[in-house]
Amino acid sequence: MKTLSTLIISLVFTQVLLAQSKEEKAVADAVEALRTAMVEADEAALKEMALDELTYGHSSGLLEDKAQFVEALASGKSDFKNMDLTNQTITVVNNTALVRHELKADVVDNGNQASIHLGVLLVWQKQKGDWKLLARQAYKL
C-alpha cells in the first residue's frame, strides 16, 4: 500500500512539473512573439498580444498605455533594429507569469540612434488560453 501511495504521489508530482513546464514554454513563446513584433513594428500583432490595461514603463521613467506603446513602434518613433533577450527567467503562478530578462538592442528613438542594455520585468496574464502582456518595466543595469 505504501508503494502504491508513493507511486501515485510521484505521478501527480510529475504531472504538475510537466504542466508548469508547458506553461513556461507558452510564456516563452509569447515573449518571443513580442520581441519579433517589436522589431518588425507589427501593429496588428502588438495590439493582439497586449491587454487594453497595459502599462509599459521605460527605464527613463516614461510610462505608456497600450495605444502609446503600439503607436511608438508602428509609427517608427521607436525603431528596434535588433533585439536580443538573455538570462531569462519565467515564474508562472496560476494565470499570471513574471518574466525577467536582459535586453540588448540597437534602436533609433526619436531620430537618435543608441545601443541599449536594460533589465526588463514583464507581467503576463492568461486569458481565454492565451498569454497577454499586462505590464512591462525596464530598468538600467
| 134 SS3 class | strand
Can you give the residue range of the structural domain that contains 17? 2-140
How many structural domains are present in the chain? 1
CATH of the domain at 127: 3.10.450.50
Which triple of cell numbers denotes residue 29? 513563446
How far CA 90 is from CA of 30, 51, 62, 64, 82, in Å, comes to: 12, 19, 25, 24, 22
Q: Mean pLDDT across the chain, nearest whole number?
A: 90
What pLDDT is attached to residue 71? 98
Residue 132: CB atoms within 10 Å: 17
User: pTM of the full predicted structure?
Assistant: 0.85
pLDDT at residue 109, as a whole number = 92
What confidence tier does 105 reach under pLDDT thresholds 50, 70, 90? very high
DSSP annotation of 77 = S
| Model pLDDT for residues 44-101, shown as the tens digit of each residue | 999 999 999 999 999 999 999 999 999 999 999 999 999 999 999 999 999 999 999 9
- Report the DSSP beta bridge partners of residue 39: none
Residue partners of 115: CB distance under 8 A and separation at least 6: 104, 105, 106, 107
